C-alpha cells in the first residue's frame, strides 16, 4: 500500500497528487462535506438527515410557489410560510451542527423536526386553498424520518399530535371558509385520508421498530453465544485455566513477538507428583479438588503477565514473558512453595502437594514444539532427580544454578 501511494505521489502534476493535497475537485468536495456535516460519524448522520429534510422542505416550498403562481394560494402567505419553515430547519441544523443538541436525549432533534414539519404541512393546508389536498400525503414522508430516530412512544406522540392537529385544522378551515368553498363531505374525505395515512404509516414504522428490536436482541444473544463457545474452546472446565489449545496459540503469538523485540520468554512444564496415588486414594472428586486447589494457589502467586494453563491430566504449562532465567528461578521457587499449601478435600481432609517443574528458555528461531520438548525433557529430569524440584533445560539455567 505504501509503495502504491508513493507511486501515486511521484508526479507533482497528477490528479492523485492534487487529491492528496486537497486541491483537486474531490478534495474540495471533502472539505465542503466536512464543513456541513463535520467529521464525527454520528454527527454526519444527524446533519445528513436534517439536510435531507430541508431538501424535501425546499421541494414543498417550490410546490407552494407554483400553487401561488397559479392563483391557488396567497403569495404573501406563502412568503411568510416559507420564512417560518426555513427558520425552523435552520434552527435545528444550527443546534445539531454546534453540538448543543448533544445535551438532550434526542441529539438529532428528530421529534422536534417531525412535529415542526407536521405543523408546517397543516399551515400549508390552510394556505393552499383549492390545492390543499396535495399537501396531505406529505405526512407519510415526514413519519418516515422517525423510523430510525424515534422510539415507539415518541412515534405515538407524533401520531396523536398529528391527528389532533389536522382534525382541528380541517374543521377550522371548513368552518371559516367563504361561500362556495368545498363541501363538508370533501373536508371529511380529507380528514379520513389523513387519518388513514397517519395510522398506516405509524403502524408500519412500529412494526419496523419491533423487527429492529428483535434483530438487536438476536445479535446480542448471538454475541453471547459466540463468547461462550470461545470460552469453552479456550478454557479448561474444571480449573478455569486456559486449556492446551489456548496455550498453544499464546505460545505461537509470543514466539513471533519475541522474534521482533528480542523479549525473553520462559516456558515451564509442571507435573503434580504422585497424583495417581491421590486420585486412587481420594477418588475422582478428591482428584478434581486437588487440581482446582493447585490451579488456584499457583495462580495467586503469579504476575499479571504470566499465564498458567492446564496441559492435560495433572500437567500444566506456565508461560512467563519478559522474564530472564535469574528472575524466573525466583518465581518458580514461589510456585513450589504455593503448591505445598495443603488442599482441602471434599471429605474435610487435607492433602499436601508437591510439583516437579521443567523449564526452558525460548531461543531465537526456535519452534514452539522444540521449546516444549526441551521443557518436557527437563521435567522428566526433575522427576528422576527426586521430584519436588525445578530442573532447567541444558544451557538455559541461571549462572548461579549452573
pTM listed for this prediction: 0.56
The DSSP bridge pattern shows strands 355-361 and 390-392 to be parallel
> Could you give the domains of the chain?
20-212 (no CATH), 244-392 (3.30.70.270)
Handedness of CA 281, 286, 291, 293 (dihedral sign): negative
In order of 197, 251, 306, 401, the CA distances from 172 in angstroms are: 20, 79, 78, 100
Q: 25 pLDDT exceeds 90?
A: no
Q: Note the pLDDT of residue 9.
A: 37
| pLDDT tens-digit readout, 97-149 | 998 889 988 899 999 999 999 999 999 988 886 777 777 778 888 888 888 78
CA distances (Å), 371 to each of 112, 194, 279, 378, in order?
A: 67, 78, 30, 11
Residue 24 CA to residue 200 CA, distance in Å, equals 48
The answer to whether residues 73 and 127 touch, using CB atoms and an 8 Å cutoff, is yes
pLDDT in tens, 39-57: 888 888 888 888 888 888 8
Per-residue pLDDT at 4: 47
Give pLDDT, residue 181: 55
Q: Of 134-148, 248-262, 267-281, which gets the smallest average pLDDT?
A: 134-148
Query: What does the pLDDT average to over 385-393?
Result: 94
Strand 315-321 and strand 307-312: the pairing is: antiparallel
What confidence score (pLDDT) does residue 402 get? Answer: 52
The whole-angstrom separation of Cα 353 and Cα 304 is: 24
The Cα diameter of the chain in Å comes to 116
pLDDT tier at 7 (50, 70, 90 boundaries)? Answer: very low
300-305: list long-range contacts, CB under 8 Å, 24+ apart. Answer: 300/338, 301/334, 301/335, 301/337, 301/338, 302/331, 302/335, 303/331
Task: Record the cell numbers describing residue 27, joined without a space.
Answer: 478534495
Residues 48 and 145: their CA atoms lie apart, in Å, by: 12
Amino acid at each position: 500500500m505504501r509503495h502504491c501511494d508513493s507511486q501515486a505521489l511521484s508526479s507533482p502534476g497528477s490528479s492523485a497528487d492534487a487529491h492528496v493535497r486537497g486541491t483537486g475537485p474531490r478534495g474540495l468536495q471533502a472539505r465542503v462535506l466536512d464543513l456541513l456535516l463535520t467529521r464525527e460519524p454520528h454527527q454526519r448522520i444527524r446533519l445528513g438527515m436534517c439536510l435531507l429534510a430541508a431538501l424535501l422542505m425546499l421541494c414543498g416550498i417550490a410546490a407552494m410557489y407554483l400553487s401561488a403562481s397559479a392563483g391557488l394560494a396567497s403569495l404573501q402567505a406563502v412568503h411568510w410560510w416559507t420564512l417560518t419553515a426555513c427558520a425552523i430547519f435552520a434552527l435545528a441544523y444550527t443546534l445539531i451542527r454546534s453540538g448543543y443538541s448533544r445535551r438532550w436525549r434526542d441529539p438529532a432533534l428528530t421529534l422536534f423536526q417531525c412535529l415542526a414539519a407536521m405543523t408546517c404541512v397543516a399551515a400549508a393546508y390552510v394556505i393552499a386553498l383549492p390545492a390543499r389536498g396535495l399537501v396531505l400525503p406529505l405526512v407519510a414522508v415526514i413519519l418516515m424520518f422517525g423510523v430510525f430516530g424515534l422510539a415507539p412512544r415518541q412515534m405515538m406522540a407524533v401520531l396523536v399530535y398529528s391527528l389532533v392537529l389536522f382534525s382541528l385544522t380541517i374543521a377550522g378551515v371548513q368552518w371559516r371558509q367563504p361561500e362556495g368553498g368545498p363541501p363538508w363531505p370533501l373536508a371529511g374525505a380529507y380528514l379520513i385520508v389523513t387519518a388513514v395515512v397517519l395510522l398506516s404509516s405509524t403502524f408500519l414504522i412500529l412494526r419496523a421498530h419491533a423487527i429492529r428490536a428483535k434483530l438487536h436482541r438476536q445479535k446480542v444473544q448471538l454475541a453471547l453465544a459466540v463468547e461462550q463457545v470461545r470460552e469453552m474452546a479456550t478454557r479448561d472446565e474444571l480449573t478455569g485455566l486456559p486449556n492446551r489449545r489456548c496455550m498453544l496459540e499464546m505460545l505461537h503469538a509470543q514466539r513471533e513477538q519475541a522474534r521482533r523485540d528480542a523479549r525473553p520468554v520462559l516456558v515451564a512444564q509442571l507435573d503434580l507428583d504422585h497424583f495417581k496415588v491421590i486420585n486412587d486414594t481420594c477418588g475422582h472428586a478428591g482428584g478434581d479438588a486437588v487440581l482446582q486447589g493447585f490451579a488456584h494457589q499457583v495462580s495467586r502467586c503469579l504476575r499479571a503477565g504470566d499465564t498458567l494453563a492446564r496441559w492435560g491430566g495433572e500437567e500444566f504449562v506456565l508461560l512467563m514473558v519478559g522474564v530472564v532465567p535469574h528472575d524466573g528461578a525466583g518465581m518458580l521457587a514461589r510456585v513450589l512453595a504455593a503448591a505445598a499449601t495443603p488442599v482441602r478435600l471434599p471429605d474435610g481432609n487435607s492433602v499436601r502437594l508437591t510439583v516437579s517443574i521443567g523449564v526452558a528458555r525460548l531461543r531465537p528461531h526456535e519452534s514452539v514444539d522444540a521449546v516444549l520438548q526441551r521443557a518436557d525433557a527437563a521435567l522428566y529430569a526433575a522427576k528422576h532427580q527426586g521430584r519436588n524440584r525445578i530442573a532447567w533445560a541444558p544451557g538455559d539455567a541461571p549462572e548461579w544454578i549452573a
